[in-house]
Amino acid sequence: MATDDRGMVSIILATYNERENIVDTIQGIFKHVPDPVEVIVVDDDSPDQTWKLAAELGDARVKVIRRVDTRGLASAFMRGIIESEGDIVGWMDADTCMPPALLPQMIDKTRDYDVVIGSRYAPGGKDDRAPLRVTASRLINRFAGLVLGYGIGDYDSGFVVLRRSVFNKVTIIATGYGAYFIEFLYTCRKKGLTVYEVPYVFTDRTRGVSKSAPSLVRFFTQGMGYVTRILLARLRHID
């Protein structure tokens, strides 16, 4: 997509203790997405001062929001959406597991689709993390596919770009960790919006500590939260 016909692109990064990765992630976005583009860092007052590193880049295209009294991934992305100015809005992890090099292809697909996700489980994609995490993720996605339908392979991708007009029909329910994205995609399809999956290889982080699975207890607790959210999403949209 030519830069003169796509308008501004806004990419949102929700961060907490990503000091080792934030600069590389921002620079990767700017390397692969030409202007006009902005990066919105929504940081939950990281003790490692992730927010400060982002601000010290001194780039006018970077907007840093430091949240002192609010926590949560979904609400951070919602705040970034509110603050964004782009005709195309996207969000992704800041831990370098999701490649900024995929963004141009995803952005280009928004000419034909409302929502475009980076997909580990579309043909050609791969989840290259530890076996336990891959197995759990595949089970969650298969369960989501069975309960919610629509043929989406990576319901909890969390790597997305979309037309701003999507928010005229669907908004994020800003609670929970990754399960919010499953409900968001399902509601998009229920509202008649189109979703396209671009395959990519998802690699485990090499720096920093995972927020989604810091312990086995948290890992399984979150898994049950996903199951509950999937069932509730389906119940809310019974025809």
Q: Residues 102, 107, 113, 114: is their CA dihedral positive or negative?
A: positive
Give exposure, 17-45, as e/b (b: 16+ Cβ within 10 Å). bbbbbbbebbebbbebbeebbbbbbbbbe
pLDDT higher than 60, residue 128: yes
Q: Is the pLDDT of residue 5 over 80?
A: no
- In the numeric block, which tokens belong to residue 68? 């002192």
Q: Are 46 and 16 in contact (CB under 8 A)?
A: yes
Going from the C-alpha of 76 to that of each of 16, 82, 145, 215, 222, the distances in angstroms are: 10, 10, 26, 23, 18
Which amino acid, one-letter code, is at 102?
Answer: L
Task: List phi, psi (to 5°) of 13.
Answer: -120, 120
Structural domain count, the chain? 1
Tokens of 161: 């770009």
**pLDDT grade, residue 175 (50/70/90)?**
confident
β-strands 115-119, 160-163 pairing: antiparallel
Residue numbers of the domain that contains 207: 3-236
Confidence of residue 216 (pLDDT cuts 50, 70, 90): low
Q: The dihedral of CA 29, 34, 40, 45: what is its sign?
A: positive
What average pLDDT does this structure show over 54-67? 96
| pLDDT, tens only, 63-77 | 999 999 889 999 999
Q: pLDDT: is 201 or 235 the higher one?
A: 201
Average pLDDT, the chain: 89
Phi, psi of 188 (to 5 degrees): -55, -50
pLDDT band at residue 106 using 50, 70 and 90 as cut-offs: very high
Reading the block at residue 53, the tokens are: 């590193």
Nearest alpha-carbon partner for 93 in 183, 14, 16, 207 = 14
CATH code of the domain in which 95 resides:
3.90.550.10
Rg (CA), the chain: 17
Does residue 24 carry a pLDDT above 80?
A: yes
Environment class of 106 (CB within 10 Å of its CB; exposed 0-12, middle 13-18, buried 19+): buried
Q: Is the pLDDT of residue 12 over 50?
A: yes
Task: Identify the CA nearest to 91 among candidates 25, 3, 20, 24.
Answer: 25
